[in-house]
Structure 1
Amino acid sequence: MAAPCSARSLQGEAAAFTAALRTLVNNPQFSDVTFVVGREQQKVFAHRCVLACRCQAFRGMLSQGPPGSEDSPSSISPQGPFILGNVQPEVFLAVIEFLYTNSVTLNSHIALEVLTSSVEYGLQDLCKESPDAITHGCPVVIWLDDALCIKFIKDTLSVEQVCEALQAAVTYGQTDLQQHCLAFIEGCTAAVVRTQGFHELSDVVLARVLRSDRLAVDELDLVQAVREWAHVSSAVLERPVSEVAALPVQELRLPLLAPSELATLERQNQRDLLIPAESIAAAWRSHALKKGSGVPSHLCQPRRGTRPRDHHRHLDPHAK
């Protein structure tokens, strides 16, 4: 009786396989689907079988065909074009590269948008975090075994980009990235509040930042930064300053200001109504009564960057 035949799987060289697939990225040869991407209307060539097996979102898109197309999913003729006007070609090509090679070439200019696209396309491997990192050089190829999009963002974070990263982290529920961005902001708050990204934060995210006790900026400067943010948001949203700022101003710690600063703030407030009158009145009461009477206790807590004022000792609930 013949001995049973045993079989086993033999693993070839992964790097050679990846390199071969990389040659197919945006290669018109044998391509059967075309995308027209971004304002530049750049053509990107791809292969349906790769996209469909790697990404459910693309599988659904390709099985329906582009608007007006009569091609069936089983057609072997070139399919497309699919118009993707709201994504940068460089970002879309990074996503395609990941689908073909399980790695992605990132730089700091596109990392956040690649994260956005990876969430939209359901590429969980691309937007999950990994304990290791490749952080040197730009651009950098990020492999699944080393680091992915969020790790790259965290390791290349800058003053100019941190608010945009925080906004994206909140939008897509990336808790660890949120905490990392907030810690970064706490370390260099005075510089961050002057950036365009700070002025583009949503009211919800700005309010979250303002709840921190560790912001490295004085309260008077923080009030001015929120005022500038509110005027930008008011212009963009075409809504009154007081309306767009209703949530963040609740986190301003007005009792920390000295009487002269509070008087100046009150005069400024008459022009734009940034801060509700009752909030300013409560701050005045804290001065008159020499304690934080009627003011939530956290609004009397100095932040890490708060410059000391004489009256602060009266606001400390533990002071005798």
Structure 2
Amino acid sequence: TRDAWDYFNHLYQFRLESPAPVAGGGRRTAENGTLQGDMRKLLLDGQLSDVTFVVEGRRIHAHRAVLGARCEYFRAMFESGMVESRSNEIEVSDASHGVFSAMLLYVYTGTVEVADEDAVELMYIAAKYDLAPLKALTERHITRKITAANVSAIILAADVHSASELKRTCLDYIVKEFGRVIDTDAFVALAGKSPELAKEILQYGAANLCFSLR
């Protein structure tokens, strides 16, 4: 049996729209002269950028017009008259560089690429920046991957990032697979990292198991 934490070692990509068909069959790729590809290049190259985000000491160059047009959070930020609206450099302290970059890629292109280990953090960041479709997409992706072997890792990440809906989904899954889950090495690891969460899981499981047996 794979270690439950290996669940987080795979890269996934999801798209909200399919690439356009090209003459002669096949599909256009993001690098093949499409609007999506051009927007991706604009972000990654940083050409004509007028705002810079500093995340974990690394700079990401972006464009106010694109961010404001695609995301109400950024529009409000840039029009607010606050320090961020006047500064060309904005410090980001509540996201990792990889996740913030993935969020910006979604804003620019409607697609996102992120490691599974960062999916819950991405969902949290999507909620913060009012990107409801991205939040729903990441939550559905994570929910589909829940198993008895990995649910402990997922609920721990959900707890850390205050992803309450995903946490509740995990708790309900644990009730259904209670014996299998608490017998895994992953649950033992969770208990070591967060005794309070382990206690909450056991109490929730016991209460709901008792209720279901009545």
Question: Normalization by structure 1: what TM-score?
Answer: 0.47
Please name the residue that 2:117 is paired with. 109
Please name the residue that 2:172 is paired with. 179
1:11-70 CA-to-partner distances (Å, cap 9, x unmatched) read x948522112111224321111111112xx110111111111221211122223663x78
Alpha-carbon distance in 1 for matches of 2:113, 2:157:
19
Please name the residue that 2:143 is paired with. 154
1:110 alignment partner, SS class: helix
Question: Do the aligned residues in 2 keep the contact of 1:166 with 1:181 (CA within 8 Å)?
Answer: no
Please name the residue that 2:40 is paired with. 22
Structure 2 counterpart of 1:48, from 64, 78, 84: 64
CA change 1:187–1:18 in 2 (3 A) is: farther
Larger helix percent: 2
Rg larger for: 1
Question: Do the aligned residues in 1 keep the contact of 2:151 with 2:174 (CA within 8 Å)?
Answer: no
Question: Do the aligned residues in 2 keep the contact of 1:114 with 1:149 (CA within 8 Å)?
Answer: yes
Alpha-carbon distance in 2 for matches of 1:101, 1:70:
23
Question: Do the aligned residues in 1 keep the contact of 2:156 with 2:197 (CA within 8 Å)?
Answer: no
1:23 alignment partner, SS class: helix
Q: How many residues align?
A: 179
Q: Unaligned 5+ residue runs, structure 1?
A: 1-11, 72-78, 129-147, 214-250, 252-296, 303-317
Q: CA shift at 1:176, angstroms?
A: 4.3
2:45 alignment partner, SS class: coil
Q: Unaligned 5+ residue runs, structure 2?
A: 1-18, 22-27, 29-33
Alpha-carbon distance in 2 for matches of 1:179, 1:201:
19
Q: CA shift at 1:159, angstroms?
A: 5.5
Alpha-carbon distance in 2 for matches of 1:49, 1:153:
32
Structure number with the bigger relative contact order (C-alpha 8 A, sep ≥ 6) is: 2
Question: Normalization by structure 2: what TM-score?
Answer: 0.67
Please name the residue that 1:57 is paired with. 73
- The one-letter amino acid of 2:37's match is A
Q: CA shift at 1:115, angstroms?
A: 0.8
Name the % identity.
20
The 5 A counterparts of 1:276-315 are: 298=210
1:173 alignment partner, SS class: helix
CA change 1:168–1:177 in 2 (3 A) is: farther
